[in-house]
Structure 1
C-alpha cells in the first residue's frame, strides 16, 4: 500500500516537473484550495459539441438567430475583456491568500458570536441574582427587622429556594412579634373552620396590620385589606357561635361566596353583578380613604380651615376647600363661584368622599343660583344620586352630553369640578380619563375610572382592567428601588379592577392571599 502511494506521489510530481522553477519557492495548497481551484478551472473549459447543438435548438424555438449572433461575437475582441485561459501554477500566491483571508474572516465571526452569547448569559445570570437579593431584603424589611450578622443575604444562589432556609433561626424580637400577630389570625381562622363557623378574616388582618407597626410604609397593605373588605362586604364582627344558625352571614355561603360566579361564565348575569359589586366596593373604599385624608388635612391646619363649631360633613368640605384652593384672600383661577361660593367644588368633594346625599342637599340649597347658570342640573343630579347604580336615563344623558359639547368640551376656563360632575353623571367620554385638579393623585384617578364604569356600555370593568394592565406596574409604582416609588399600589389597582390573582412577593401579601382564598377562592397555586 505504501509503495502505491509513493508511486502516485512520484507520478504527480512528474506531471508538473516541466513547470517548476528552482529560483521560486513552492506553494502547498490544502484540499479545500485544490477543490476550489479545480472547480474554477472546470468552469472555464469550453462546452462540447453536444451542448452547442442543444443550445442552438433551444434558442431556435425562442426565435433566436444563433448564426447571426455568432457572426456578431466573432467581430468582438475578447483579448481586452477576458483574461486568457492559462494553466494554474503552483506559485498562485494571490489565490492562496484569498482563501486564507476568507477562512480567517469566518473563524473571527464565529468566535465573536460565541463570546457575545457567553457574555449575554453571564449578564443575565448576574442581573437575576441581583434582583433576587433585592427581593429578599424587601421581604426582611416587610417582616420588620434585620437578620443576624451571620446570615449573608448574598450567599444564596437559588432564586426560588426556601425563604426560611436562607434566613435561618436568627430572627429579631420585633420580627417574631409581627409574625406571631399574623399567626394568631391564621390560628383563629383555622379554629373557626374546624367549628364550621365563619370568621371575619379580612377585618382581623386589618386590625393586626394597624397594631404591629406605625410605619407609614405599612399603610398600603392596610388599605388593600380595607378595599377587600368593602368588595366582599364582610362585617367587622360576627354574632356569637351560639347564635350562628340565626344569622345569614354565618351560613356556608359566606365563605367563598363569589367563587362560582368569578370562575364561571364572564358574560352571565351573575358575573356582571359581581363586577358591579367589585367596582362599587372599590369606589366606596377610595371614598372612605379620601374622607380620612380630608379630615386630617382640616385638623392639621385649623387656622386656614376655619372649621368653627359646626361638625357637619358639608362644613368640613367647606373648610377643606379653604385649605386647598383659597390663598391670599382669593380662590384659584378656575374655581367658579356660584352665589359667592365654590359650589361645584363642594358638590364634587361631597360625592368624592361618599356623601352624595349631603351633596344633593347642597345643590338644593343653591338651586336657584345653579339653575341660572346650568338649567336642569339639579334635576339631573337628584336623579343620579337617587339611582341605585348611579345611572341616568338615556334622555337625561343626552341632554348632559349636549351641554357638555356646547359649553365645556373646548373651553379652557370651565370649572374642572363642574366638568367632572357632568362626566360622572352622563358617563361622558370615558376614554378621556384625566381632569385637571380632579385626578391629581393615583387614587383620585382610579376613583373617577371606577365611578364611570358601565357594564352595559364601553366594556365595563373588564375594559378598564385591560387598560390598567396595559399601563403596567411601573406606571403606578415607579422604578423599583428609587426614591418616591410606592410599593403595593399595583396590587391595589389589580384588586380594584377585579384582577385578584395578584403576584405576591412579600409575606403580608401572603395574608392578602389567604383573605382572597377564603372570601373569593380566586387565587390558584402556580404549577
Structure 2
C-alpha cells in the first residue's frame, strides 16, 4: 500500500511538473528533490544570518525586476493578492509567486523606514549633544572667552524669552492667586540679597566634567563614579606633571592640595573630605578645621577656630610655594583677602567663586579689617576699581554682565546689558525675572534715570527704573505689534506713575490710541449689542475699567468719535449721548453729501438710536432728550435741503420747537429755556429754514388764489412716513 501510494504521488508530481512547463515566467528547476535539499542545507549554513526574505530576493533577476513588478496588479499598493481557486494550478502558482514578491517588498520597505527613522533619531541625538556641549562650553568656558553668543543664538533666545512671557501670563490666568513656587525676597531689606549671593556661588562640576569627557584618552577616567574620580581625571589633564612647590605629598599620584581644592571647586565637600581622610597624617590640624567647616550650616568656622587657622596661615603658609594649599586655607578661614590666587584662579569665574566664598555675610567684629571682605567691598572693587575696561566689557559684554550679576549687582548688570542694542532683549527679560522674584530694587519715581541712587541707600546700592526700561524697549515695536507690547505692559499692573495712576492702564490707553487697534485690543460691539472679547480680556477680569480709561484718554485728546465707540463698548450710555450731542450739533444744519462729516455722524447716531431702542437703553434724561431732538432736527434739515418743504414743515410742527401760530409764542419761549446748548446753537438756522418754508408756502397760496394750480393734497401714508423715524420710541 505504501509503495502504491508513493508511486501514485510520484505520478501526480510528474503530471504537475509537465503542466507547469507551459508557464514561461516561472524559473525551471534542474535538480531533483535530494539535490535541492542538499543545496538548501548548504546555503542555509552559509547564510544563516540572512532572513528567508533576503534569500528569496537573492534569486531574483535584478535587471528584470522592474519589468516583473509592472506585471503585478498590486504593484502600487503592495497589498496581498486575493487567493484563486484551488483547481487553477497555473494561477495558483503565479499568485503565490506574486504574493511572495509583494511580501518581500513590503518587508523591505518597512525595514527601510525603520532604519531611516533610527538614523534620524541618532542624528538628532548627536546634534543635541553638540548643542549641549557648546552651551556648557559657553556658560562654563574658560575665563574671558566665555559667554559669547552668536547672532542666531540671540535670535532664538529672544523667541524663547517671548514664549516665556506668554507662558508666564497664561500661568497667571490659570492661577488667579498669582503665586510662584519660588522664594520671594523682600527687597526693602538689602541684606536679603545676600541669600542670592550664597546661591550664586556656583561650583565647577560641569566645567570639570566637560573637560574630562572632551579629553577622555588623556583623562583616563575610571574607578567608582563620583566627584573624586572626576577630579583625578581632570588633574591628569590640568596637571600632567609634577607641581613645583608641592607640599604634603600625593594621593594616588596627584598633589593632595590640588585634589582638595578642585573637590571644593566642584562643590562636593564630601569628596574633599575623602581626600583629607586619605592624607590626614600629613595635614596636621587641618582635618579638624575642615570637619567643623563642612558641618557648619553657613560654611563659617567658629571665631576661635577661625583665629587659630588665620594665625597658622600668617606664620607658616603666607609664603607657601604650594598655591593650592594657600587657596584652600584662604577659603576655609576667609583670610588674606588681598591675595587673588592667580596661579589657581586663572579664570574670571574662578576668581569670583573664590572671592564670594571669602565674603563675610554676617560679620561679628571678630575679624581684623585686613581679614574681612564684605560684599560691598567686593562690589566696589569690581564695579569701580576694575570697571568695564578691565573686563573688556565692550568686546565681552556677557562676561562683565556675569561679574555684576553674580555679585548681586542686578540693577547695574541689567542697565549695562541694556546699553548694548543687540542685547537689550536679554536685559529686559532678565529684569522681568528679577522683578517677578522681587529681587529688583526699583526707582521710586518714573522720571528717574535708568540707573540711580536715592537718599538713604547704602553706598553700592543702585536702583533700576523698571517702568522706563520696559517703555523704552516696547517703543520700537508697540505700533507694529501692539499684541506683543501688551504682554510686557502687563508686568506694570502693580506700578503707579507720579500721579498715582495705574501704569498698566496708562500704557494700554496710549497703546490703543497710538495703534488704533480698538477692535483687536479692546473688543468689538456686535450688532445685537454684545461685546466680542479682545486681547485685553486675557489680562484683566474687569475690562470695563480699562476701556473706560482708554475712552477718557481719547476724549481728552479730542478724539470724540473714537471715544463714543469706546464708551459704548464700556456700557456707558450717558457719555455716549453726551459726546454724540457735541458731535451732531455743529453739522445738523449742513447739506448732506456722500462721505461727508455729517453723513458719517448721522449713520453712527442712527445706529446708536436703533440699538438703544431695541435694547431699551436710555441715558441721563437731559442728554437723552437732546440726542433724539438733534436727530429730528437733522431729519428736518435733510427734508428742507432736499426741497421737501411740506415734509420739513410737518417735522417742525411736530417738534414744537418754534411757534407756528400767535397763540403758541409764549409757550415756545418758556420751553426754549429748557433746551441744551447743543440745540440752542442751531436755533438761528432752524428759524431761518422755517421762515423760508413759510414764505414758500405763502407764495404758493397766493399763486393758488390767482389761479395757479396749488400743491396736491398729500396722502395719509405720506404724513405717517414723516411721523415715524427708526429711532422713534413712541
Is the radius of gyration larger for structure 1 or structure 2?
2
TM, length-normalised to structure 2? 0.36
Larger relative contact order (C-alpha < 8 A, sep ≥ 6)? Answer: 1
What TM-score, normalized by structure 1, do the two folds share? 0.49
